[in-house]
């Protein structure tokens, strides 16, 4: 209708009229995916992080059910999720992943059942069926707990942190002692992993750091250019750009200043990065890949003999936990790690028995002093 804006992803925008397809079902299904992709792009959702995984999920469901969206029923969705959670699979999905999958499928079905996008009429005319919602309150995973991560995941203890970094340093020393290639890479990996912990960074945040992200802290002049790091690739909300924050160097972790000064001043130039601005560079003078970051962590963890449930993100959990144990205010800790809500920071925290005992003793001392004044 003239003067009325057409919704992005409408069927007639992605499905050509008057074209005879050799496989009409597959053609309509692909047009649905193309249309939904358009609709999501107008919401500024990220292509690699959100849109592509969702499209892949829908193709997987179509393959599993051997049916198309206008044929899907609630039982199909239930069977698909049950299959993915099956213990027979090499890597069954966890509850939070199942909920994410159900949400993605639900959003897609909302799109194809919305008459504004014309898919109900297209499917009715061509196949004599119309799409219906697959998941509803009765057959989807309920969100009843704040934390649904794997119970085995936890922060590093102080001893494990020390063993982990000793192993990372030891790899560089061992490679150098045996005269093998890779000494510079091992030194880089050690500095990188220490930076992840000392500033509580996510993998993508560390990956995106540039030399220009070093910051001076006016009240901590002794740290020079390493009084803080400016994080430009923080975790974003849906439809928004990456969040930015400045992470201050805390005195308990000021050892990172010497680590970064050595890396930037002596080791980094040996990679011959040229005009490359990246803080972490590869042997080919390019930005270090996120896969290489994972590999660096896994090699150091194996060398230290630490359990597999400790992943790279556990270093961030450790940072939060240790700041709490250093008695930093909850608000400060949340701002350091880029959490909007203190409840999120609380989920990351796994304080030690020693710290809890210290709190109890402090509380008891306060009670004793109160009684003495009465």
Mapped onto helix, strand or coil, the DSSP state of residue 311 is coil
Catalytic-role residue among 54, 268, 301, 316: 316
CA distance 289 to 199: 19
339 annotated active-site? yes
Catalytic annotation on 316?
Answer: yes
**Which are the contacts of 248, defined by CB distance < 8 A and separation ≥ 6?**
217, 220, 227, 228, 336
How many angstroms separate the CA atoms of 54 and 37, rounded?
9
User: Which strand (E) or helix (H) includes residue 248?
Assistant: strand 243-248
Identify the active-site residue in 171, 194, 317, 339.
Answer: 339
CA 164 from centre of chain: 22
Asked about 313 being catalytic, the answer comes back as yes
> Which of 310, 311, 339, 309 shows the shortest CA–CA distance to 324?
339
Residue 52: CB atoms within 10 A of its CB come to 12
Instruction: Indicate the SS3 state at residue 144.
Output: coil
Which helix (H) or strand (E) segment holds residue 214: the answer is strand 214-215
* Catalytic residue from among 52, 235, 262, 331: 235
The answer to whether the beta carbons of residues 171 and 300 sit under 8 Å apart is yes
Count of residues making up the chain: 374
Within 10 Å of residue 288's Cβ, how many Cβ atoms? 22
Q: What is the dihedral of CA 123, 125, 127, 132, to 10 degrees?
A: 30
| Active-site residue identified among 38, 85, 313, 358 | 313
**Residues 104, 80: Cα–Cα separation, whole Å:** 13
Report which DSSP code applies to 265: I
Q: Which residue among the candidates 101, 111, 117, 348 is catalytic per the annotation?
A: 348
Catalytic residue among 54, 171, 188, 202: 202
Residue 68 is a catalytic residue: no
Indicate which residues carry an active-site annotation: 202, 235, 313, 316, 339, 348
């Amino acid at each position: 209708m003239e003067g009325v804006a057409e919704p992005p992803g409408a069927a007639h925008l992605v499905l050509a009229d008057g074209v005879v397809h050799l496989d009409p079902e597959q053609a309509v299904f692909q047009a649905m995916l193309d249309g939904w992709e358009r609709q999501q792009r107008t919401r500024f959702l990220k292509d690699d992080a959100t849109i592509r995984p969702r499209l892949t999920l829908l193709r997987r469901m179509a393959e599993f059910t051997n049916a198309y969206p206008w044929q899907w029923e609630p039982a199909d969705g239930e069977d698909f999720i049950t299959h993915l959670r099956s213990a027979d699979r090499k890597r069954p999905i966890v509850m939070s992943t199942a909920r994410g999958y159900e949400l993605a499928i639900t959003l897609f079905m909302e799109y194809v059942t919305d008459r504004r996008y014309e898919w109900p009429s297209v499917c009715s005319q061509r196949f004599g069926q119309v799409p219906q919602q697959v998941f509803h309150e009765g057959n989807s995973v309920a969100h009843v707990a704040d934390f649904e991560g794997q119970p085995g995941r936890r922060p590093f203890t102080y001893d494990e942190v020390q063993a982990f970094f000793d192993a990372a340093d030891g790899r560089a020393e061992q490679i150098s002692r045996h005269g093998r290639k890779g000494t510079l890479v091992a030194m880089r990996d050690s500095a990188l992993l220490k930076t992840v912990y000392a500033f509580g960074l996510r993998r993508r945040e560390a990956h995106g750091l540039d030399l220009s992200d070093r910051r001076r802290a006016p009240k901590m002049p002794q740290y020079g250019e390493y009084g803080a790091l400016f994080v430009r690739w923080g975790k974003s909300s849906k439809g928004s750009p990456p969040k930015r924050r400045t992470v201050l160097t805390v005195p308990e972790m000021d050892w990172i200043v010497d680590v970064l000064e050595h890396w930037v001043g002596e080791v980094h130039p040996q990679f011959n990065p040229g005009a490359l601005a990246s803080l972490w560079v590869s042997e080919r003078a390019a930005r270090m890949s996120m896969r290489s970051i994972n590999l660096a962590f896994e090699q150091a963890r194996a060398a230290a003999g630490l359990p597999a449930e400790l992943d790279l993100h556990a270093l961030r959990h450790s940072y939060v936990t240790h700041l709490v144990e250093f008695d930093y205010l909850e608000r400060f800790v949340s701002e350091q790690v880029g959490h909007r809500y203190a409840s999120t920071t609380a989920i990351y925290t796994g304080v030690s028995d020693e710290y809890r005992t210290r709190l109890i003793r402090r509380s008891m001392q306060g009670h004793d002093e109160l009684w003495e004044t009465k």
